[in-house]
A and B are shown apart, each in its own frame.
Chain A
Amino acid sequence: MGGVTRTPTNLTQGSATKGGIGESTLRPDGTLKVTGEFAYSSDMWHEDMLWGYTLRSPHAHAEIRSIDTSAALAQAGVHAVLTYDDLPTEVKNYGLEIQDTPVLAHGRVRHHGEPVAIVAADHPETARRAAEKIRVDYAPLPVVHDEATATAEDAPLLHPGRDDHHAGHVPHPNVVHRQPIVRGDVEAARARADVIVSGEYEVGMQDQAFLGPESGLAVPAEDGGVDLYVATQWLHSDLRQIAPVLGLPEEKVRMTLSGVGGAFGGREDLSMQIHGCLLALRTGKPVKIVYNRFESFFGHVHRHPAKLWYEHGATRDGRITHMKCRIVLDGGAYASASPAVVGNASSLSVGPYVIDDVEIEAVALYTNNPPCGAMRGFGAVQACFAYESQMDKLAAELGMDAVELRRLNAMSQGTIMPTGQEVDSPAPVAELLRRVKALPLPPEKQWESGDTAGTSVDVRALPGGLSNTTHGEGVVRGVGYAVGIKNVGFSEGFDDYSTARVRLSVVGGEPVAMVHTAMAEVGQGGVTVHAQIARTELGVTHVTIHPADTRVGSAGSTSASRQTYVTGGAVKHTCEAVREKVLELGRAKLGTYHPAWATAELLLEGGKVVTDGGEVLAGIADVLEDEVVDIELEWRHRPTEAFDLRTGQGQGHVQYSFAAHRAVVEVDTELGLVKVIELACAQDVGKALNPQSVVGQIQGGTTQGLGLAVMEEIVVDTDGKVRNPSFTDYLIPTILDTPTIPVDVLELADPNAPYGLRGMGEAPTLSSTPAVVSAIRAATGLALRRVPVRPEHLTGT
């Protein structure tokens, strides 16, 4: 395997192959999804299968005094009813980082919707009715619902006797993790400030609102193991958590990815996986579990709601002197990804700005609210809303243009982050702002038709839309800007590798590559990109993508904007090894026929081995003949390190990603309704491997950010109960709420990344929200410290 790790010296490999990187090749799943033929995990069927159902807690916090399953078990058609007492091993908890989440509640429920018992029956309705017959005797306990109730002296402890690795450094046992970052001398810098602005900001609980609910099918196997087909974000992380609870070695839990209908972080934690396997192993029958929409709102973690306090100072000429902030994230009942969200929120709290003197603190709480964890933007979203709100406030205080203030303080390549880490690849923050600002503004009053009588309006172009609330009355336009910074990949010393297996063989006289990874295709287009990489690196036309499963090594999570970078990097790396092997075979078999085999730089192009001068030496098929090259390799990005627990210093992040937005909104100032007219985005992606997918990601992220700005929130009462677990009352943007989204893609290569690419799926979700709110502020003159902005906030009602 000589030469496997070398950096390719020629940069022309693949440039002559159609369907390689840089082209907008079509998604293999695209047409199927549009025509409704794509098989999602909820569509799976197995002869003789049972249906699982989960009984969930109606209380946010209660002692479980007893559970009586006899009436449920007695119901015809019921095959199993399992509670905590039925768990087969000593491992009864799971968790991404901290194993604090019970598979089934034991003695206590800590949040509304926590799983208490599971049922398998021959019909989903039978399972549901049987679950209703399970009698659980609950004794409600006082509810911890915010920082004050969580850290009070006599606060009930969510997890008494914690022994996780954050337990030792947190100020209170109901604090999951605390990360301070201090750099420079804030007091001295503060003394230099001509103006100081501070503000308290709040971000509501957003949901991923993926359209395909949690679902999977567990099939018991003859060897005592189980085959699990499931929609998830990271097969191997699931496997690591599932197998110990089942008491099975990992090789006996064989997982295959089934059709995933969106994820956005919400599938990083387990949902039905262990429950389905437990029921399948208990009954000896295949068990399918599909959450309905109501249950789905309880079946996955949400975005951390946050309270953020910020102070910025600046000199009269607009140079930011210092920043202080405190970020409190509500992690809910279980840790999930809270520690990593704290790491992101703190280390990115300064935004894409040069500020040398900072005092930062971020904490995540344990409360009896719904558990919160990964969601697109992951801690950076909350911080971005606050620091960008502060930028507008600071600009107003200075009497400066808000974009000019941002550009004046924008970071660039070489900037040192508050963590002490240098930004060592392009950071075109000022340029992104310049680009969105330079765009022409959309025309005014687009609702007016050509009709000069002025009586005819197109209400679809107005706030309220078809609800016909205004024909222009009370409508004021506003324009706002924002820019954000997101890290790419898993940070803080995590061994964030991916594995790819690539097989090259001759089928029907043609060389065909097969790419096999465990990457979860959740809609991001990874399978498209893998085929493009294989074409580019191997010079073949035909690439097949093997289903993602655990028969190959881990691909890491489809999150943190990392898959194209890391699993894409692994595919590239493995293809390079396959290419070397092909050339090695060629030299051995055919080297004597042409001196160039030994002397020239060789490429694989158009199914052939060619010299860098373009001379064809042989067909790949002729080199391979009956041989199959089949290589599986791991690939790692450069390592990171943990942040110091006291100072926050450390080379914590892999790469940064930047996007800027300009929002143009029209607000019905009397009714408090908002229509976003245009939401322009400029983003640097390093290299667009599939330009159409890149634009799609930017538009999707932008729209998700718009949702947080004006409508998306899970409303939780102070008693910890979720009030709107449905798409009737948890509103996500419709096409009439989605504005025109002009996208400007920059490609400034990161020399550290494969093809120079920059992970790009999350950045557009950050700045979208504060840009929209900034525009609403411009239209209304209101301070607006909380998202989502509600009509009540805009009308003072």
Chain B
Amino acid sequence: MDFLRPAGWEEALAAKAEHPTAVPIAGGTDVMVELNFDHRRPEYLLDLNRVTELHEWEVGEENVRLGASVPYSRIIDHLRTELPGLALAGHTVGSPQIRNRGSVGGNLGAASPAGDSHPALLSAGTEVEVESVRGTRFIPVEEFFTGVKRNALAADELIKTVHIKKATGPQQFSKVGTRNAMVIAVCAFGIALHPETRTVRTGIGSAAPTPLRATAAEEFLSAALTDGGFWESGKTITPSIARQFAELASGACNPIDDVRGSARYRRHAVGIMARRTLGWTWDAYRTGGLGTRTTEGGAPCA
């Protein structure tokens, strides 16, 4: 195995073009596990740690431009106001040591259905900026996941920046695992209220071959909230709306039975998480002053 160590981004793109089978590695929290388990034996590892811009982020007018290698611990410490859902998701990633190394770029590269950041990215609204020597593409995150551990990257492309919409309303993230820390998701759910567009977006993890949005649930809820004047009145959401939202979220799942959990449980748990996280975000929205920039959904980052 050859270890390629480009000194900068252009060099990295050139290396990837020359060696399309090269596996990019930054924090290594996923790649090293794959290597140790003998799941893959790449000819080349492409070390991105010297590409400094990948470790940087920039808060823009509407988006956060998050370098692919920015570790979760930075997101938790510095971006919890702009990206509250992702910060909550980041908290559930591995241990402190893993959070110091693991990054959203790595999560997207691995494209595991159980990747913790995916539901938060889906619910916030995200575009993935990928680049090769041929040029740059912006891929909506919904289209980025193409199958179990498969993504839309071409062989010569690398993930450069993740453009995530800044929160304009409360966001939440919940994940079920069978222990209280350091656990791979049995299933996960993310939700983001977008008061400025009167919409709600969601993300489901580990309950289908790819992370996905519960589109029918989103459409139902957005319509119900708008039709009922909830955004303006800040009324409590009626139980029947919450229940139907939960059922639709549950129905969006296409899970499997595996060693971590049964398909039935995953469907059930996604419904519960959808109902609860909706309650938390909506409470934060209506108690935080309608339309003001309250993005915390009521769960402090411990």
Contact = CB atoms under 8 A, between A and B. Distances in A.
A797 interface: yes
Contacts of A797: 262, 264-265, 267-268
A790 B299 CA distance: 26
A792 B180 contact: no
B219 interface: no
Contact of A795 (B172, B259, B268): B268
A128 B265 CA distance: 39
Given A469-B174, A469-B175, A734 B180 contact: yes
B178 A736 contact: no
Interface string B83-104: 0000010011000000000000
A469 B174 CA distance: 5
Interface string B247-276: 000000000000111101101110011001
Contacts of A675: 180
B7 interface: no
Contact of B179 (A468, A715, A734): A734
B180 A466 contact: yes
Contacts of A737: 179-181
B179 A458 contact: no
Given A455-B284, A671-B269, A671-B272, A791 B302 contact: no
A460 B181 CA distance: 9
Interface size class, chain A: 35 or more
Given A455-B284, A466-B92, A792-B262, A471 B299 contact: yes
Interface stretch (A92-100, A511-519, A721-729): A721-729
Interface in B140-194: 172-184, 186
Given A459-B299, A463-B180, A791-B178, A469 B264 contact: no
Given A459-B302, A724-B259, A792-B261, A467 B37 contact: no
Interface centre among A728, A735, A791 (most CB of B within 10 A): A791
Interface in A650-678: 670-673, 675
Contacts of B174: 464, 467-469
B176 A467 contact: yes
A291 B261 CA distance: 28
A671 B172 contact: no
Contacts of A724: 259
A736 B180 contact: yes
A671 B181 contact: no
Contacts of B88: 468
B300 A458 contact: yes
B56 interface: no
Nearest to A466: B91
Contacts of A455: 283-284, 287, 298
Contacts of B180: 460, 463-467, 673, 675, 734, 736-737
Interface size class, chain B: 35 or more
B236 interface: no
Nearest to B273: A469
A731 B179 contact: yes
Nearest to B41: A129
Given A470-B276, A729-B184, A792-B262, A671 B176 contact: yes
A797 B181 CA distance: 23
A792 B172 contact: no
Nearest to B185: A467
Contacts of A784: none
Nearest to B95: A734
B61 to A, nearest CB: 29
B175 A731 contact: no
Contacts of B280: 471
A715 B260 CA distance: 10
Contacts of A458: 300, 302
Contacts of B182: 734
Contact of A792 (B173, B183, B265): B265
Contacts of A456: 298, 300
Interface in A448-491: 455-460, 463-471, 473-474
A294 B35 CA distance: 12
A728 B184 contact: yes
Interface in A90-136: 128
Contacts of A471: 276, 280, 298-299
A248 to B, nearest CB: 35
Contact of B299 (A463, A468, A715, A734): A468
Contacts of A199: none
Interface in B268-302: 268-269, 272-273, 276, 279-280, 283-284, 287, 298-300, 302
Contacts of A672: 265
A461 to B, nearest CB: 9
B36 interface: yes
Nearest to B37: A294
A284 interface: no
Contacts of A470: 276
A555 B269 CA distance: 52
Contacts of B179: 465, 710-711, 731, 733-734, 736-737
Nearest to B258: A723
A180 B33 CA distance: 48
Interface string A544-578: 00000000000000000000000000000000000
Interface in A629-688: 670-673, 675
A292 B184 contact: no
Interface in A726-779: 726, 728-729, 731, 733-737
Contact of A791 (B92, B186, B299): B186
A673 B298 contact: no
Nearest to B181: A736
Contacts of B175: 464, 467-469
A352 B268 CA distance: 41
A616 B176 CA distance: 69
A729 B184 CA distance: 8
A464 B177 CA distance: 7
A113 B299 CA distance: 45
Interface string A700-726: 000000000011000100000001101
Interface centre among B179, B267, B269 (most CB of A within 10 A): B179
A250 B302 CA distance: 58
B177 A467 contact: yes
A677 to B, nearest CB: 12
A456 B297 CA distance: 10
Nearest to A451: B300
B272 A466 contact: no
Contacts of B262: 792, 797
A455 B92 CA distance: 20
A467 B88 CA distance: 8
A46 to B, nearest CB: 24
Contacts of A735: 181
Contacts of A790: 178, 261
Nearest to A738: B180
A471 B264 CA distance: 24
The 10 closest A-B pairs by CB, nearest first: A465-B180, A797-B265, A736-B181, A797-B264, A467-B175, A736-B180, A723-B259, A734-B181, A797-B268, A455-B298
23 contacts: A455-B284, A455-B287, A458-B300, A459-B302, A460-B302, A464-B175, A464-B180, A465-B179, A466-B181, A467-B180, A468-B91, A468-B175, A473-B276, A473-B279, A670-B272, A723-B259, A724-B259, A729-B260, A735-B181, A736-B180, A792-B265, A797-B262, A797-B264
